[in-house]
Amino acid sequence: MNFGEKLYELRMKKGWSARELAEQVGINVRTIYAYEGGNRYPRYHYTYDKLAKVLGVDVNYLRTENEEFLDEVGEQYGSRAQRQYVKAITEVKKLFAGGELPEEDELAFVMEVQKLFMDSKQRAKKFTPKKYLNQ
């Protein structure tokens, strides 16, 4: 389950609207919808902390391995690369629509996709003109 799915599930268990959760955390309701839709992830670590506290869960539950990978992608390649990865993994997961993968197989699959993504970014960087590297 990804961050957005976890957030939605926890909010539903509390019986809160997205607006109620947004007010308690101190962020915009559109941001909650973007998180739940899988389009965005919190930019700052303290947002995870606030969400975890308000929802009554351990922050590590919200910050799964996938989000940690997104942080790494963001640090190395920027927010555009984060969006590219989310789009790619979403499309790849559609291959398994209607079926279930055991958790260990899903984790192995995601790890391979992450490795391929980083390898392709590294290879693409070799061919990027120098004038674009420092922007």
Q: Map out the domains of the chain as residue ranges.
A: 3-62, 65-127
In which residue ranges of the chain is pLDDT below 70? 1, 64-67, 96-104, 107, 128-135
Per-residue pLDDT at 78: 85
Among 59, 86, 89, which Cα is nearest to 71's? 86
For domain 3-62, the question of CATH label 3.20.20.220 is answered with no
CA distance 63 to 46: 12
HEC string of the chain equals: CCHHHHHHHHHHHHCCCHHHHHHHHCCCHHHHHHHHCCCCCCCCHHHHHHHHHHHCCCHHHHCCHHHHHHHHHHHHHCHHHHHHHHHHHHHHHHHHCCCCCCHHHHHHHHHHHHHHHHHHHHHHHHCCCHHHHCC
What pLDDT, on a 0 to 100 scale, did the predictor assign at position 131? 66
Q: Please answer whether residues 74 and 82 qualify as being in contact, where contact means their C-beta atoms are separated by less than 8 angstroms.
A: yes
Residue 69, pLDDT score? 79
**What integer pLDDT is reported at residue 7 of this predicted model?**
93
Residue 58, pLDDT score: 81
pLDDT of the residue at 59: 80
Q: What is the pLDDT of residue 38?
A: 79
Query: pTM for this structure?
Result: 0.51
Q: How far apart are CA 133 and CA 24, in angstroms?
A: 40
Average pLDDT in the chain: 82
